[in-house]
Amino acid sequence: MQDGAGITAANAGLDNISWNVVGHTYTPKLLSGNAFIWHALIPAETFVPPHIHPTQDEWIVMLEGELEVEMGGQTHKAKAGDTIRMPMGEAHGIFNRSGKTATCVFGVAPSRKLFELFGALDGVTDPAELVRLSALHEVDFLPPPDQA
């Protein structure tokens, strides 16, 4: 994996990797011990359920479209040009309710186990397996509201 100086082409991921994670297309752009950055295509009406990164700060830079992020008991709307900040330990869920695909760049710091998690989740559709694998990689999904 590349973590030194160089350029990751706009139409490529590190080592030509791309993953399907919860219906989103994630393409890794930078990986080091300090940070992991990936490009994301988030189709309309898809989401990442509420979860917590206990060991990482996370952010999203919106390129096109709109996303809603639920955190701190509020729903925040972000559009192209906005940056969403999700601090370590704070529960957040990411929703595309806009009717159009959203394009953005995500990042986490430090990188920890998230790169390996996306490889493990590539194509996984069973929610229980997604939750199990995520917990093994330091991402904790919250129970659905009716089970909380």
Q: Give burial (CB, 10 Å; 0-12/13-18/19+) of 108.
A: buried
In a domain, 81, yes or no: yes
In a domain, 130, yes or no: yes
CATH number of domain containing 85: 2.60.120.10
In a domain, 147, yes or no: no
In a domain, 148, yes or no: no
pLDDT band at 148 (very low <50, low <70, confident <90, very high): very low
In a domain, 2, yes or no: no
In a domain, 113, yes or no: yes
Report how many domains make up the chain.
1
Angle in degrees, 0-180, between the axes of helices 127-136 and 114-121, rounded to the nearest 10 = 160
pTM across the whole model = 0.93
In a domain, 18, yes or no: yes
Domain enclosing residue 56, as ranges:
14-136
Q: What is the pLDDT of residues 65-123, one digit of tens each?
A: 999 999 999 999 999 999 999 999 999 999 999 999 999 999 999 999 999 999 999 99
In a domain, 48, yes or no: yes
Left (φ > 0), alpha (ψ -120 to 50) or beta: where does 133 sit? alpha
Q: What are phi and psi of 71, to 5 degrees?
A: -160, 150
